[in-house]
A and B are shown apart, each in its own frame.
Chain A
Amino acid sequence: EPEVTQTPSHQVTQMGQEVILRCVPISNHLYFYWYRQILGQKVEFLVSFYNNEISEKSEIFDDQFSVERPDGSNFTLKIRSTKLEDSAMYFCASSGTGLDGYTFGSGTRLTVV
């Protein structure tokens, strides 16, 4: 069964540092997403990406965040100048045409110290 792959599974970073979270979506999918989940809370939408541009972003996704699809297979989330409150699980997801096959990765646990 096709999977969304995320690396690393756990990242620890110092406050103020930049991190890049990496994702390999399902190969024939066209839509890509990042979500986050603070410990014990619900999953929150961050951003959706289609045709090499952001199609929608939430209030959380401010100038500190950026996304990129640097090649035909990777989809990255960059967080600049990390804060303690950025500590969370970050999930990448992808879907085919619209909502079809909407699949989540296993997540990257980001810990900011």
Chain B
Amino acid sequence: GESVGLHLPTLSVQEGDNSIINCAYSNSASDYFIWYKQESGKGPQFIIDIRSNMDKRQGQRVTVLLNKTVKHLSLQIAATQPGDSAVYFCAENPMDSSYKLIFGSGTRLLVRP
């Protein structure tokens, strides 16, 4: 069946270091991917998205990489700050569906001062 999974449930990094959060997906029909940040008690907050016709997209301090060959998605956060501490989810939209999103299990990012 379809699934979106994450390799590491918790990632701890030193403030100022770069963070890399990984995600594997299994639905090759997905053509749109989003990374969300979720802070405690809040809804998912959009970080960055990428379509399947791209392999890299950059935002402010964040970069998303898409490797369709191995169905792998990663989120890179540069110069990680304490405010980046949260749970990060990748989500995918299968091309043959409505505009639903299928979420992964989440990775908790802890930033050490």
Interface size on A, residues (CB 8 A): 24
Whether the pair A56, B97 counts as a contact (CB closer than 8 A) is: yes
Whether the pair B102, A105 counts as a contact (CB closer than 8 A) is: no
Bound CA span A14–B98, Å: 34
Q: Which residues does chain B contribute within 8 Å of A107, judged by CB atoms? A: 41-43
Bound CA span A56–B44, Å: 21
A47 (CB) vs chain B CBs: closest residue: B100
Whether the pair B43, A56 counts as a contact (CB closer than 8 A) is: no
Whether the pair A45, B101 counts as a contact (CB closer than 8 A) is: yes
Check A31 for interface membership: any CB of B closer than 8 A.
yes
Bound CA span A98–B101, Å: 12
Which residues in chain A, 22-56, are within 8 Å of chain B measured between CB atoms? Answer: 31, 33, 35, 41-45, 48, 50, 55-56
A sample of 24 cross-chain residue pairs with beta-carbon separation below 8 angstroms, ordered by A number, consists of: A33-B99, A35-B101, A35-B103, A41-B105, A42-B89, A43-B89, A43-B91, A43-B101, A43-B103, A44-B103, A45-B101, A45-B102, A55-B98, A58-B100, A95-B99, A99-B32, A99-B49, A102-B34, A102-B101, A103-B46, A105-B43, A106-B41, A107-B41, A107-B42
